[in-house]
Each structure stands twice: as C-alpha cells, then as structure tokens.
Structure 1
C-alpha cells in the first residue's frame, strides 16, 4: 500500500559516518510504502539540485549526498505530519523492516535499511 505523507516541502537533515552533516536539504513528496514485511519511506530531494543558484547550500549539500551516499549515517525528519505517518505505519506493522529511499533525480536513487529512533520530537532513520 502506497500512501502520501506530505506533498509539500519539509526539512531533512543528514549525517555521515565521517562526521559531516547537512541541515540544508528540503524534501518533497514523502511517500510511504507499507507491507507486512517492509516499511519504506521515499523522499524526493531533487528540488535541491534544480535551484537556479548553484552556490546555494541546498545544492552543494545535495551534491555531497550524491557523492558520499555510501557514508550516510542517518536521516533526520522534524515534520510532525511525516512523523505521525511513520508512527501509524509502525503500529500497523510492528515487526516490519524499515527502509528509506532518497531520490536525487539524475544524480541517483539511494536505498538504505534503517532503524528508526524518536528523540526530541524528531525521527532519526539510522542506517544499519
């Protein structure tokens, strides 16, 4: 079952295993794919690469994500609408495996197995 959690923009922060981080990314089209076995959150980050100002922080951070995608440590989401949708999905499929799919247009699509963690009003999707 596919379900849209949010179509409009929301902030997305990422951290990397080498210590770098970004809190300048904006996601759109937060979509949830739910089955008994898997919960997959798809986040469209393409808008960060399609800005006119190529010196914008969001552009350089999206390029860094595309280059360092193998070093991704976690994805943080603060949006309550998205968090509520993820909590509902967890209640429906408590033993499901979690995944996140980051869509960066022509730069690639990156899939990760993650473990969700709630802290300070945010959800952290920690890469396994």
Structure 2
C-alpha cells in the first residue's frame, strides 16, 4: 500500500473519532441534586452561538422549538431563561419526550445550557 493511501485512511479514521467524541460530549448529562431525575445538559457551542440575546427572546424561541418538535407534547412544559441558561420544568406524558425536549431547547441560538427538570406524568 502506498503512503497516500495510508494517509487517507488515517485521516478518515481521525475524522470519525472526532465526530463520535463530539456527539458524546454534546449529549453528556450531569445530575442535579435539587430534584430527582433532573439533569443539566450543556450545549456544545461555537462563539457565534454566544451572542447575548434577551432572556425573553431565548424563552420564546425555546417554546417555539418545543412546539415544533415532532413527538413532544409541550402543553405541560414551562420554560425559563436567564443569561443563556434555560430551565425546563413541568411534565410530559412519555419518558422519551424528556430527552427530546432537552435537545430541542439546546438547539436554540443563545442557549448555553439546559436544566431539564421535566418529570414523567400521565395526562389527566
């Protein structure tokens, strides 16, 4: 095998490793002691996402993202934003919606971290 072929394969492997480690880092969750089951999700962000946006705009955009996210029932979710830290509180009817809601909130421009305090509760 020639040197260029080896270099190409090493480059591809390196790109895959970087992509996987970035995905793992972006999805890491740290427990919060204030509420059982609550998590903090830190967003992997570039400097372009660190624009100072008013809390009201971030809150509005997170609410909009939650309502647009397929598979998320946002009717029981309350959203608060303070200096780029978004808190999701309330309830959802299915466990998988907790993670989907956190991911939707993290995707909003200006969100630095998400405190996901959603709980599982069946509809009344």
Q: Which protein has the larger Cα radius of gyration, Structure 1 or Structure 2? A: 2
Normalized per residue, the structure richer in strand is: 1
| Both proteins in one fold, TM over 0.5 | no
Normalized per residue, the structure richer in helix is: 2
TM normalised by structure 1 equals 0.28
TM normalised by structure 2 equals 0.29
